[in-house]
Amino acid sequence: MIDLSIGRDLEAQLEQVRRLGREHLRPLGIEADSRREPVPPDHPFFALAWRMGLGQPLGVEERPASGPRSGARRGVVLAEEMSYWDRGMSVAMPGLGLGGPPLLSMGTPEQKERFLAPFRDRERPHWAAFGMTEPGAGSDVAAIQTTAVRTGDDWVLNGAKTFISNSMRADWIVVWATVDRGAGRAGHRAFVVERGTPGLEDMRYEHKMGLIAYESSSFTLRDCRVPAANLLGGERYYAERAGFKGAMRSFNATRPAIAAMAVGIARAAYDAARDFARTHYALDRPIPRYQRVRDKLARMARKIEAGRLLCWRAAYLADLEQPNEIEASMAKAFAAGMAQEATGLAVEILGDAGVTRDAYVEKLYRDVKAMDIVEGTGQIQRIVIARRLVGLPR
Amino acid sequence: MFTLALSDEERLIQDTARRFARDRLLPGLRAHERARGVPRELVGEFAALGLTAGEDLGAFARVLVLEELAAVDAGAALALDAGGLAQPLLDAAGLGAARGRGVVIEDVEGRFHARDGRLAGEHPWVPADEIAVAVVLHPERALIVREGWRLTPIAACGLEAAGASRLVLDDAPIAATLEDPRALGRARAGIRTAVGALLVGAARGTHEYAMRYATERTAFGRPIAHHQALAFLIADLATAVDIARLAVWRAAAALDRGESAEWEGASALAEAAEQALFVGPNAVQILGGHGFMKDHPVEKSMRDIRTLAQMAGGRDEAELAAAALVTERELGFAGRGDRCP
- Residue A324: the pLDDT is 94
Is A375 designated active site? yes
Size of interface A-B (CB pairs under 8 A): 174
Strand B133-138, strand A188-194: pairing = unpaired
- Residue A233: the pLDDT is 92
The full length of chain A comes to 394
Chain B hits for A14, CB-CB cut-off 8 Å, are: 333-334
- Residue B327: the pLDDT is 77
Minimal-distance CA residue of chain A relative to B242? A310
Say yes or no to pLDDT of B50 above 60: yes
Q: CA-to-CA distance for A149 and A14, rounded, in angstroms?
A: 46
Is residue B175 very low, low, confident or very high in pLDDT (cuts 50, 70, 90)?
very high
Q: Which of the two residues, A79 and A289, has the higher pLDDT score?
A: A79
Say yes or no to pLDDT of A253 above 80: no
Measured between CB atoms, does A7 come within 8 Å of chain B? Answer: yes
- Residue A392: the pLDDT is 95
Chain A hits for B226, CB-CB cut-off 8 Å, are: 390-393
Asked if residues B269 and B261 have their Cβ atoms less than 8 Å apart, the reply is no
Percent of chain A with pLDDT over 90: 70
Percent of chain A with pLDDT over 70: 91
Three-state secondary structure along B124-190? EEECCCCCCEEEEEECCEEEEECCCEEEEECCCCCCHHHCCEEEEEEEEEEEEEECCHHHHHHHHHH
CA distance B332 to chain A (A): 8
Measured between CB atoms, does A297 come within 8 Å of chain B? Answer: yes
Catalytic residue, from A81, A134, A362, A375: name it.
A375
The one-letter amino acid at A198: P
Asked if residues B129 and B75 have their Cβ atoms less than 8 Å apart, the reply is no
Measured between CB atoms, does A34 come within 8 Å of chain B? Answer: no
Is residue B326 very low, low, confident or very high in pLDDT (cuts 50, 70, 90)?
confident
Which helix (H) or strand (E) is A192 found in, with range?
strand A188-194
Measured between CB atoms, does B329 come within 8 Å of chain A? Answer: yes
Of B225, B243, B337, Cβ closest to residue A11: B337
CA distance B205 to chain A (A): 15
The complex's ipTM works out to 0.93
Measured between CB atoms, does A242 come within 8 Å of chain B? Answer: no
B336/A308 Cβ within 8 A: no
Say yes or no to pLDDT of A283 above 60: no
Chain A hits for B325, CB-CB cut-off 8 Å, are: 298
Q: Which of residues 255-314 of B touch A (CB under 8 A)?
A: 256, 267, 270-271
Q: Which of B9, B222, B227, B239 to mutate to test the interface with A (most CBs of A within 10 A)?
A: B239
Is residue B159 very low, low, confident or very high in pLDDT (cuts 50, 70, 90)?
very high
Say yes or no to pLDDT of B51 above 90: yes
- Residue A238: the pLDDT is 87
Q: CA-to-CA distance for A156 and A340, rounded, in angstroms?
A: 42
Q: What mean pLDDT, rounded, does chain A reach?
A: 90
A390/B234 Cβ within 8 A: yes
Say whether pTM exceeds 0.90. Answer: yes
The helix/strand count (H/E) of chain B reads as 11, 9
Is residue A63 very low, low, confident or very high in pLDDT (cuts 50, 70, 90)?
low
Say yes or no to pLDDT of A246 above 60: no
A291/B323 Cβ within 8 A: yes
Interval A165-214: pLDDT, tens: 999 999 999 999 999 998 888 899 999 999 999 999 999 999 999 999 99
Q: CA-to-CA distance for B320 and B197, rounded, in angstroms?
A: 20
Of B215, B239, B332, Cβ closest to residue A334: B239
Interval B291-323: pLDDT, tens: 999 999 999 999 999 999 999 999 999 999 999
Q: CA-to-CA distance for B135 and B176, rounded, in angstroms?
A: 10
Q: What mean pLDDT, rounded, does chain B reach?
A: 95
- Residue A285: the pLDDT is 56
Measured between CB atoms, does A182 come within 8 Å of chain B? Answer: no
Say yes or no to pLDDT of A99 above 80: yes
- Residue A123: the pLDDT is 87
Is residue B56 very low, low, confident or very high in pLDDT (cuts 50, 70, 90)?
confident
Of B211, B322, B340, Cβ closest to residue A302: B322
Closest among B34, B50, B341, B242 to A3, alpha carbons compared: B341
CA distance A127 to chain B (A): 28
Of B235, B336, B339, Cβ closest to residue A382: B235
Long-range contacts at B292-297 (CB < 8 A, ≥ 24 apart): B294/B30, B296/B209, B296/B213, B297/B29, B297/B205, B297/B206, B297/B209
Interval B187-205: pLDDT, tens: 999 999 999 999 999 999 9
Chain B hits for A274, CB-CB cut-off 8 Å, are: 326-327
Cα separations in angstroms, B141 against B123, B180, B187, B324: 18, 8, 11, 18
- Residue A139: the pLDDT is 81
Q: Which of residues 254-273 of A touch B (CB under 8 A)?
A: 267, 270-271
Closest among A338, A332, A341 to A381, alpha carbons compared: A332
A297/B3 Cβ within 8 A: no
Is residue A52 very low, low, confident or very high in pLDDT (cuts 50, 70, 90)?
confident
- Residue A4: the pLDDT is 93
B234/A306 Cβ within 8 A: no
Chain B hits for A283, CB-CB cut-off 8 Å, are: 327
Mapping DSSP to helix (H, G, I), strand (E, B) and coil, where does residue B253 land? helix
Asked if residues A260 and A87 have their Cβ atoms less than 8 Å apart, the reply is no
Is residue A353 very low, low, confident or very high in pLDDT (cuts 50, 70, 90)?
confident
Of B322, B323, B337, Cβ closest to residue A8: B337
CA distance A294 to chain B (A): 5
